[in-house]
Structure 1
């Protein structure tokens, strides 16, 4: 089968590789659609911390946002899964440790992360091996574009839940990328007043088309009380700004990661009695994201700028926008194209 393989920093090939064979407790999924995200770009560029910590090494087969159809099943798997449209969890815990037993497998020290950590091959390929325990069924109302947006949606939904907003309360999202805009969409769906902060340009203009109550640059941000702030940016200075802007006694949620260390003055958190929450992974939010998409409460499809083939992935990872791309921040891949 064909697969996109990163062989070193900013080096890649589309290769013919052996197709996966499902082991005990596993299935193989024929990939219908896969997303390209910021983590993939960090691995492609060589900046991703896992590469320097020994959790990942080249060659890497990327792709952790995906949907497809189960085509084969290994020993111990109900054959009724074959033919089912699915998406799945990125985080594959060991299943034995204290964290896994407590239901927090996404922070298991020995976890695999599909397409990212531990060498588990990703979904930028025609087929993908997945433990059956990681699968989530997709209803017919969730098509390919939305199905491949479940993983980022689960992250965003967790961030919005962590913000602990009541209907009518005000949220500020820092960063109009995919996760930030999904946070805005889930918060709007629960009745929040939503504002987005970003740099001037097309990303902020696009945010204004999605129904947010305000999309601002830093110099034009109105002096409003924000009941929660979600930092979905990669800017090292914005975590501190999030703590400065949130109302006392409320919550800041950190889901973005900067490429260099960012500092937050804990005196700000303490003296404002602020709760700071970090979000890693979509795992506990996947089912909720599917429910929101299936019901139509949240529609992630406008965020998809284009669908490309495996041969075009390298250009996307390098920051190029293919001709004819829409204004959204997300690029999808059809491995069969």
Structure 2
């Protein structure tokens, strides 16, 4: 089968590789759609932290935002999965440790991460092996585009839940990228008043095109009932703490390449609850349900769908003018 393989910093190619065979407890999915995110771009550039900690090494087969159809099942897997449209959890815990037993498999010390950690192959390929326990069935109303947005949507949903807001309350989302915009869409669907903060008017103009008229390069002075930092700016976490109303919640889901500093005295003196969100684990079903019901439609976030042969261009940050300013690019491995 064809798969996109990153062989080193700035080097990648579409290769013919052996198709996966399902092991016990696994299925093989025919990939319909896969999303490209900042983590994938860091693997391509060589900046990804896991490459320096030993949790990942080249060659890497990326792709953890995906949707597809179950085509094979291994021993011990219910054959009813065959032919079902699915997505799945990126985080694959060992299933034996205390964290996995407590439902925190996404924090398992020995976990694999699809397309990211431990060498588990990703979804920028025609077929993908996945443990059946990680599968999330997709409703009929969730097409391949929406299906590949369930994983980032699950991240965003967990961030919105952690913000702990009631309808009518004010939320500031720092960073109008894919996760920030998904969080904004989910919060708005719950009746929250959403404000977005970004650096570039180009990205803020796109946010305004989605109906978010409160989009700023400088936030209003009045404190917010919650702040979600979905940016990669090292100064954003401190800004989030400064911008939140005392006694409320700040949610950190973005990651900076450089250490970001927060004065814990501010957290204490404002009695702020700070929450970190890692992964969509626990949020996949909720995101799929929001899409299926029509409460949230994230399809405008997808600028284009391209082939595996065009993935390297996308990972290098190149964009065609006709794609516009939407933040997400999808890959369809079935395209020639």
TM-score category of the 2 structures, normalised to the smaller one? over 0.9
Cα deviation for residue 323 of structure 1 reads: 4.4
| SS of match in other structure, 1:203 | helix
> Are 1:251 and 2:234 matched, yes or no?
no
Counterpart in 1 of 2:160? 160
Q: 2:233 aligns with which of 235, 239, 252?
A: 235
Contact 1:188–1:212 under 8 Å retained in 2: no
Is there any run of 5+ residues in structure 2 with no aligned partner, and where? none
Partner in structure 2 of residue 184 of structure 1:
184
Q: Could you report, residue by residue, the CA deviation over 1:152-183 in whole angstroms, capped at 9, with x for unpaired residues?
A: 00000000000000000000000000000001
Between the aligned partners of 1:145 and 1:264, the Cα distance in structure 2 is 37
Gap regions ≥5 residues in structure 1? none
Matched, 1:100 2:92: no
Any residues of structure 2 matched to 1:1-337 within 5 Å, and which? Answer: 1-218=1-218, 221-337=219-335
CA contact (8 A) 1:236 1:261 kept: yes
Distance 2:8 2:282 in 1: 32
CA contact (8 A) 1:7 1:59 kept: yes
Summarize deviations over 1:261-314 as a string: whole Å, max 9, x none: 000000000000001000000011001000100000100100000001001000
The secondary structure found in structure 2 opposite 1:312 is helix
Query: C-alpha displacement at 1:213, in angstroms?
Result: 4.3
Q: Quick one: distance in 2 between partners of 1:213 and 1:8?
A: 42
- DSSP-derived class of the 1:271 partner: helix
SS at match of 2:287: helix
Query: Hey, what's the Cα distance between the residues in 2 that align with 1:52 and 1:98?
Result: 27
- Give distance in 1, aligned partners of 2:320 and 2:30: 25
- Across the aligned residues of Structure 1 and Structure 2, the Cα RMSD in angstroms comes to 0.7
Shift of 1:246: 0.4
Alpha-carbon separation, structure 2, partners of 1:224 and 1:193: 14
1:282 match: secondary structure: coil
CA distance in 1, matches of 2:201, 2:210: 15
Secondary structure of 1:324 counterpart: helix
Q: How many residues align?
A: 335
Provide the secondary structure at the position in 2 that maps to 1:331.
Answer: strand
What is the rounded CA distance, in whole Å, between the counterparts of 1:82 and 1:311 in structure 2?
29
Tell me how far 1:225 sits from its aligned partner.
2.5
Distance, in Å, in 1 between the alignment partners of 2:58 and 2:46 is: 10
Query: Aligned partners of 2:309 and 2:203: how far apart in 1?
Result: 26
CA distance in 1: counterparts of 2:200 and 2:176, whole angstroms? 11
The Cα offsets for residues 199-239 of structure 1, whole Å up to 9 and x where unpaired, read as 13311100011122400002xx2222300000000000110
Q: TM-score, normalised by structure 2?
A: 0.99
Quick check: 320-329 or 272-281, which moved more? Answer: 320-329
